[in-house]
Structure 1
Amino acid sequence: MRKRKSVILLFAGLLCAGTTVACGTSGGDSASGSGSGSGGGTFTPPDLPALQKLGEPEGQLNILAWPGYAEDGSNDPNVDWVTPFEKETGCQVNVKPFGTSDEAVNLMKTGQYDVVSASGDASLRLIAAGDVEPVNTDLIPNYADVYDFLKNKSWNSVDGTSYGVPHGWGANVLAYRTDKVKPAPDSWSAVFDEDSPYKGKITAYDSPIYIADAALYLMKHQPDLGIKNPYALDDKQFKAAVDLLKKQRPMVSEYWSDYLKESQAFKNGDAVVGTAWQVTVNLTAGEGAPVSSVLPSEGATGWSDTWMVSAKSERKTCAYKWLNHIVSPEANAAVAEYFGEAPANPKACELTSDAKHCDNYHAGDAEYASRIWYWTTPIEQCVDGRTDVKCTDYGQWTRAWTEIKG
């Protein structure tokens, strides 16, 4: 398995800076109670048209991407899906990697980038600010092959209008040392119960968005709080989640943002249980450590990334050709395996070098995906549909996170 290069995901910072509309949609609680709610906006985005037809390629494309999403062979000569795109289209690619969703949002405001790979806590901000425009999926042939359960969701569409192409997805699973954690855990209680036998050996994700993990746990264990969506917390619900994390703080041995460091903690025994990405589990187990993972009974938070087109782009034919290329079976297989996630195109599963990659990452498993609450920016306008209260926004989450860590 190819390894992702020190991808650090720190989701903290500005919320809808400079916008005059709310940047969230109703999402998460579909009829099945899943976290993969379909699109349907609670705000009205700027009225921007989608491209109606392709023209001649403009010869250049500026890509803003998570590290590992647009590899051209410069990091590893064996990892390159940019060069084939350049040869096929004549669009010469310039890649700017970013380290956080906030960085991506701010860079997109400059108008210097044609496309961006946006996680769910960035995509809605970009839509609300008018920095990205609707996407005409009829101009993207490979879009038809993308798993239906990733299309027209609350993080990549508004009122049925698509704003991008799903790229890859994954869950924040519960990882554990099989030689230390017995019996195998099936609940987040292993990390949140104040009587957990693993206190002092727990690892947790280092980001304000981790508050949603606590809220998800409380949804099931304190139903009287009335939490319906872990990203839509009123003051009482928010306080309960923050208090839970403050109680957890003395039990945590390490907060991680670099998955390679978390892997090391599991290998040397500094951590025996905690939230992780599947790539961390696979990497650690592949290096001989007795580590496994589970999607707990409460479900999990996670991510689903979307390629989006800048409303200011003057190279939209190249942009659309990139969106089509990146979800082609060949490119999507290469990205998913290198980055460590489930691909969006099922045809990619036939092309991964590891024949078990899609099984390991639950690609195509809609039931598994339905148990994930994908990262979404918390905003004052409750994204669970409530209109009688105000919810806490990401600025409040960021300040609370500083208090939690002390």
Structure 2
Amino acid sequence: HYAKMETGETIAEYYSRYANRGAVASPTEDAARSGRVMVGILVVAALLWATGGLPIGITALLVGGLMYLFGVFPPNKVAAAYSKDAVFFIAGVLAFASGITKTGLDRRIGILLLGTSKSLTSFLFVFCPLLAVTASFVSEHALVAFIAPILMMVYMSAIKSAGLANDRALAVCFILAVCFTANQGGPGSPAAGGRNAVMVGILADYGLAPSFGEWMTYGFPFVPVMALVIATYFFLRFRRSITVKDLDIAKIVRRESQKIGRMTQHEYITAVVLVMVILLWCLASGKLGMGGPVLLGLVVLAVFRVIGWRDINRISWDVVALYASACAMGAGLATTGAALWVALTFVDVLPEYMRSGEGLCMAVSLFTGVLTNVMSDGATVSAIGPLAVPMAQVSGTHPWMVGFATAFASSFANCLIIGTPNNAIAYSIAKNYDTGEQLV
């Protein structure tokens, strides 16, 4: 892009011209009425998402209702702002995930991954990176929901074989390692979570949306590296405190795999379609977008009777509405200039070394990382994303740099149970099956 810059033009001015936006928004007192309205909508939505004052889906509808009420866009443009490729993408991914769960393919994948673990060391340094990579394409919630119970069965079998009543360190290591590494699958691809789709949609508003393959070029290498960092942390933290020494996870997993039998026809069909969808994302997302391949995949699954409309209708439509409202809010903030004004204000209060480049990425990452632990990752990116990209513009930083930093940091919801559904699922399962004692 930089080769197209005009003589004497700054990077911020180039991106503003490239995205068809004004380079600098007016101060609040002189801002257009619609810009002030969008700032207010952002504040209201962020507060409601953070506090749970209204259900997520209702807050998403409120965003659109307020945009209609205050005339931010003409009615058709409000509707169009909700109907982006990223919205079809996340709806399709959720529906596809329901098909994977319905056929039992997620269980098969979980057992296949756990089959590599013959000791605690191989569990941490082989299984955990494989889980993180898989979570870049398959729902991490489904993976954790199936793998956590298997690990608790392994735990119960191990302590009984060792003649122990409990080994809390082993349980904590199992559960938290799975949660943390599953969360870290997020940066791997746009399919890893709705927060990535939101960021792609926000970047698209500025004419800078990365393709599926371009996202993977930057995000995918991060996943196994971060998984190994997590594995090293747990290995150093728990290697001496775990009482059970003879641990063969693969042996117990093989017994479990015999119970579910051979792969069914529907599992084979789903696996083939999943591979085809991923290939289309990587090779043809420039032409088909990211919603097109997954919608085509859903049609194929429906033709082969793997899923039906009832299965699709059971997805979390409130999540779809959340991401649709985030796209609409991002478009409104960008078009009215409100996002640039907020970005300028934020950048002005930062120390000099954090106003551009790596420093700005650090500031945005830290803010996102803290916030994602107290509200959902999708809601965090929905609130911060529309401001992060303009911050990059006004500071002369490439928007991808700050946009990716925001999306990647939203995967670090490891501190609190409420940070991500993975944490809540694993916490509810982490109990001694004989005594009911909470182990984590």
The alignment's TM-score, normalised by the length of structure 2, stands at: 0.26
- Structure number with higher helix proportion: 2
- Structure number with higher strand proportion: 1
Structure number, greater radius of gyration? 2
